[in-house]
Structure 1
């Protein structure tokens, strides 16, 4: 069953659910209307001690509710919805194989290293209590990255409170590393602080701040400084000036993200959690691995013992962290033993493919993609 069939089944169930909900609301409105009418009649009775009048009104209400028959009206639509849900669940179970153990490959991992990775994931998410609890239960030593991430979240928390001093201090302390990464984080922080002072303080305070903290950047970022100086003319009404974009909340969000990136870079860590990346990649590749496992099982072959997957596993550009080469002839991925080789015509094949095509180190062979001839000696190894 294709994914389109699952989508169609979902749409059918959704339609039945909407019809059932609409019918239920209609019945509720009918019952509510009858009850309101009965209450109005009860309140209009002149002699509350007249039991006969009260009983007759309630008897009349009971009869009308029976005529409405709320349970009978809802039974049919609810039954159709239940049948649709039951069929949809069966379709999901048939399409999605819940037994993911078929894609599992037994690898001996260092338990302590795995625990460190999991705890580090919690710490970099700011879940310090959860990380400590996990490490205590795992009886593992403290993660060395805990303290730096605590400092990072203290800075981010201060930024959320519109306090930029901790961030500015950190950026100044690690200025060389930040500049080496090609970032102007420190200037952006000072710019944001300047705008805050100008918006909430006075023109004089903002000018003094600019002279102290922005002037060192003027030689390289003169155009940016000039814009900030023009903002002085709009003190107190910057939101109606040509420079109103400086007040956008997105500046705070982007700066927090950039500071996190630079902080992780200083620690030698990636911006994204390695554990989260691995899990996301595994989820995306799982359908292909399960299908491969079923195909190999049908052929009575064991894919877990293979050093390389026999099928491509395309996870998208977000998961490409380094350059790779796959030989267009053999479909083998380039390696140290089988590196990519550039032929005189400009096409690239793996070394083993070239050796097989030539059948000899001195014999010429024809490129499989163009009519030009080449020899093994004419091919040059490529380095990625």
Structure 2
């Protein structure tokens, strides 16, 4: 029998059942791939708690300052009552904001709990259900990253996986993306202010690029004096870090927007806004611990790499091999070859390796088992063998030998 018979779906032996140790290893490896699932809601919760903490600190400082001011000033009784009433109103407003923040944080905690319960399913026998849910999560993630928000929400709702995907986080990002696409930096700068500590820690260039773009837009409409004032206020502080970029931007005051000099003409190109959108998406993913590429791309690349071997590009490559198709070959063109060129065949019955010393035998129904296992079965059943999968009974002499190349 030709070697390519082994590539047929009916003749490939099933993988041996995993031992408890291997199963634990599988669970560990699966959990490593789910870092984003838990990290995103956790980072979102941390961000909300930091915002609440800053709000409390700001309001309490204002109230304490107000009380100290009331003590120092010589107020009449009416003025003192009015002043203290305003401070009480401020504290009541703080309480309302904290109540709203608490409700929001409780929802985020609930989302973390749901995701932990989802991961616990890995330890049960509901692997098929868990894998099905994972595929849906990956598809929603892909749609959100490509800005197909409505489709992503409909899929999440229809599959009841709203707590397992990050629609709320991406909807926050949507506002920034749309504003940048419309040539407005204000929401993006507000986002930078909200996440100033983390962006500074990661040495992000995003805020500088936004400030530079606003400067360029002032130069574009010939508001040179306003551009200079803006540069002094918002760009001068970046001089030590991005001196070369800053000098290039400042030179546009002399070259103007209609320049033919490529070095400065590119700064006025509309593509700069697209670059800002892409830079924001990168910083957004870093902030929440997301992968820079969609999960669908990562899993697809991993799968194609596992399948890709030099044999896939030979003329006699079997049609059952996905990489025999031109579209899959194009997707895998930049990916490395699989580390293992040849597969190992393990007998479904004996769990032993099938090789030249224990070659595979093919039953009339197309299933493959090891010679040793089938001969032992035939000895116990007067030369008859039974397929453990389909129940087919046949003579040992009816089997054909398969050769491993």
TM-score (norm 1): 0.45
- Specify which structure has the bigger relative contact order, considering alpha-carbon pairs within 8 angstroms and separated by 6 or more residues: 2
User: Greater Rg, structure 1 or structure 2?
Assistant: 1
